[in-house]
Structure 1
């Protein structure tokens, strides 16, 4: 543990910090659904190969900063280190972010990565300049949205459901599909691979996916929907839900390549909005890469309201990255 002249202490994250850390992260990332149970679940189910560690910054008894550092494991490219930082808005420009970043980077550099990545909020000139001084350069940008489901005109949903049924498609909540996890994994892996990023997200082993995603405390089996063609899952829109606070977040939306451009993702997403409105949810957050034109158009069509997004920055630190064998298939025989 280290303490500076202002009494700001940096120490390793503890389980008892989870609720306070979640409260801070909800302020810094307003479109995301974050709870203490979720933070602990992510820590408990993370891959050991990520070598992830977490730290907090404390002022007196208040948690005012948070950091996580680990290797990205959902890609076949080895040696990509991810840094996540959050500092309370009222306490920025006091060196807290710099101290947390130094600790996080030191942990990653000891693992001999080839590249470090970090996100910075658009419009946060101080954070961007800080990152640039440390050698980071922008590689991508993401857009962030929020929607009040109670305000959405859902009159098109019954029409879309009827048209889909005529083509052999139907909607089903995730709760009804617990016996089809291998097929859902294939769909989820395809949707993940389609996400634009600096490296392919092509390493999504079934067991880790089930443990981290499906068994997560916030994935709502009633508010998450799947479109099936016959009995095959072909499109999905899943929600993370904090029922206590009436908030939700789009966990994943996507469609198998052979079934795209038929309005199936829109159908599934409309079903999540209908459910959310009936369940008393007042906000659904979403984030998309700025080049993901199909998802951006869908959010705009559904009247999601834009929030300040993020710049994704990268810093090379070592040799060229090596590729591991990609693992996106479900268990054999499934």
Structure 2
């Protein structure tokens, strides 16, 4: 039977649970929960034209797609579609149907250049190339066994440096927004993002149900936020760092490593047993830091690009 494509409705638990289940099977290195799926749909920026899709066959969810416009990029008319099919239900046409539906949605909203993350496996890469996409940069997923590994010992901050929890900024998180915006500005990416909308950042980052302000660590230099390691959790046993960075004026002093080590130790003490993170394949300094902590590469994605006529 042919797959049926529908929009994910945030108030439909079957939709959000099905979407999260497929993503956790196809992409177990990234945190998804039904609540986070519903939140993303409900709080997406209107200019993103965000449209998560669900492919179903005989009433069973078998495929997903995240589709939208990169509204916070300085370059206009860029869209993205990230398609993942349940590993047990591939080669049934769901992926192609999701791609076609996503491309029609993006083209109707003016997108002329499309980006898609594809797992670095022969079948997935062939699928992308069959649909007219060509390979660009790559990125790694890394995993750390928090329960069984030995973390580097905690170190006392040097003079003038103080470690604080992200939750200490609950009354006014704007300094963290400024730090996040600065560090993201030179993050390797095919789609450079500009963080200029504080309210959007509050919605998409600070108030996100996966974000853990309590396990996020910020390094202050003479009272100014200089480096941080932002944490997400699934409320179970999985913890992830979604951004670790240092403001340009404070680089080369080991502050990001100091902040991340503090966050990892506190995550393990809180009962989390697996830690995940991701790095652009060309970001060798951050990959080296993560390997120093004991992370190992557990998967790789390739960014594929297609120009629309």
TM-score range, shorter chain: over 0.9
Query: Helix, strand or coil: the match of 1:86?
Result: strand
TM-score, length-normalised on structure 1?
0.88
Q: Does 1:270 align with 2:261?
A: yes
In 1, the alpha carbon distance for the partners of 2:298 and 2:20 equals: 20
In 1, the alpha carbon distance for the partners of 2:71 and 2:110 equals: 15
Equivalent positions of 1:1-334 (< 5 A) are: 6-15=1-10, 16=12, 17-123=15-121, 125-158=122-155, 161=156, 164-166=157-159, 168-243=160-235, 245-318=236-309
Alignment gaps of 5+ in structure 2: none
- Count of residues in correspondence between the two structures: 306
Question: Which aligned segments of 4 or more residues in structure 1 are displaced greater than 4 angstroms?
Answer: none
Aligned-pair CA distance for 1:93:
1.4
In 1, the alpha carbon distance for the partners of 2:273 and 2:101 equals: 37
Query: Helix, strand or coil: the match of 2:231?
Result: strand
Aligned-pair CA distance for 1:130:
1.9
In 1, the alpha carbon distance for the partners of 2:210 and 2:8 equals: 21
Aligned-pair CA distance for 1:199:
2.9
Query: Helix, strand or coil: the match of 1:254?
Result: strand
Aligned-pair CA distance for 1:179:
3.3
In 2, the alpha carbon distance for the partners of 1:152 and 1:267 equals: 18
Aligned-pair CA distance for 1:7:
4.6
Aligned-pair CA distance for 1:8:
2.5
In 1, the alpha carbon distance for the partners of 2:213 and 2:148 equals: 23
CA deviation vs aligned residue, 1:143-199 (integer Å, no higher than 9, x gap): 1111122334345323xx2xx332x00111111122342211110001211210113
Q: Structure 1 273/12 Cα, relative in aligned 2: closer, same or farther at 3 Å?
A: same
In 2, the alpha carbon distance for the partners of 1:71 and 1:77 equals: 11
CA deviation vs aligned residue, 1:285-324 (integer Å, no higher than 9, x gap): 1111001111111111111021121000111125xxxxxx
In 2, the alpha carbon distance for the partners of 1:131 and 1:155 equals: 40
Query: Helix, strand or coil: the match of 2:256?
Result: helix
Aligned-pair CA distance for 1:262:
0.9
In 2, the alpha carbon distance for the partners of 1:66 and 1:303 equals: 32
In 1, the alpha carbon distance for the partners of 2:98 and 2:283 equals: 32
CA deviation vs aligned residue, 1:112-132 (integer Å, no higher than 9, x gap): 212000011012x22211211
Name which of structure 1's ranges 171-180 and 286-295 shifts more when overlaid on structure 2: 171-180
User: What's the C-alpha RMSD, in Å, of the aligned pairs?
Assistant: 1.4
Name which of structure 1's ranges 177-186 and 101-110 shifts more when overlaid on structure 2: 177-186
Q: Structure 1 293/155 Cα, relative in aligned 2: closer, same or farther at 3 Å?
A: closer
Alignment gaps of 5+ in structure 1: 1-5, 319-334
* 8 A contact 2:244–2:256 mirrored in 1: yes
Q: Structure 1 145/79 Cα, relative in aligned 2: closer, same or farther at 3 Å?
A: same
